[in-house]
Amino acid sequence: MSKFIVPLVVLLGVLLASSSAQAQQPQYCLPGQTSPAYCLPPAGCDKLPAKLALARATFNASSRTIDILALITSKASGRVKIALQAASRTTTFTAPIDSARGRIKSVHRILASQANLGTGILTITYNGDADTRPQTLRLRAANNKANLDLDRPTITPGGVLHAVGTVTSRAQGVIRVDLQYVNRADGQTITLNFTAPISNGKWSLSTQLSPTVQAQLATRCGTVHSYIAFTGYLQEHIRGESKSFQVLPPL
């Protein structure tokens, strides 16, 4: 009889450990549902932000190249698609993701007319992978720095989004502030878009988030992430620059 008791005790221990682990995992049950099949995070909750941000995209007329440095999460893998629109032409190519360093670095040959013009619209497209969300970045490439600088954006307990920073005093236009999170109810990625006008090299944003957004943030999947970008200024050949910040930790 004892030879049956030991395996039974072991099996019971495994089942209890499994149940305990499942109980510790965050779950969401759809309204009116009690079945475990409806009490798991929906598809999309397991994806992480790509954190794609452009540090520089500059031209070298003598070598007819564009030099690109972008940051990306170390979780990302594969290659990104890159398109440069300049001098009424489009040059497309791909670049590998350096997962170990969390970056994309590429020096690529372009048309002489594009290199001599020294500015254009650069689009970087990351299609995502098994654990990382897709993201597309579209900014101006040029040799003059934007000097985008800011502290981490914040959300107050009352649901007010604050962001403040600086750029070069020659820049004009607006700063784009995007807030991104995953809605636990359906696993959809929500991206909210805001703008802050630039005045004498300074900019700030203070905006009240709606009750619906605040409720979704309170029950979100994962983190709340922000992407801040200056898209560039053609008249002064000032390049676009962007940064990525975690605003709220994962739930």
Q: pLDDT by residue (tens digit) across 9-36? A: 444 443 444 443 333 334 556 566 555 5
Residue of 246, 247, 251, 250 lying closest to 51 (CA atoms): 246
Q: Are 53 and 227 in contact (CB under 8 A)?
A: yes
Q: How far is CA 198 from CA 113, 139, 149, 180, 247, in A?
A: 31, 17, 13, 23, 22
* 103 vs 27, higher pLDDT: 103
Entry pTM: 0.84
Average the pLDDT over 192-220 and give the result: 98
pLDDT in tens, 239-249: 999 999 999 99
| Structure-token match 């988030």, residue found | 209
pLDDT value of residue 65: 98
The total number of residues shown for the chain amounts to: 251
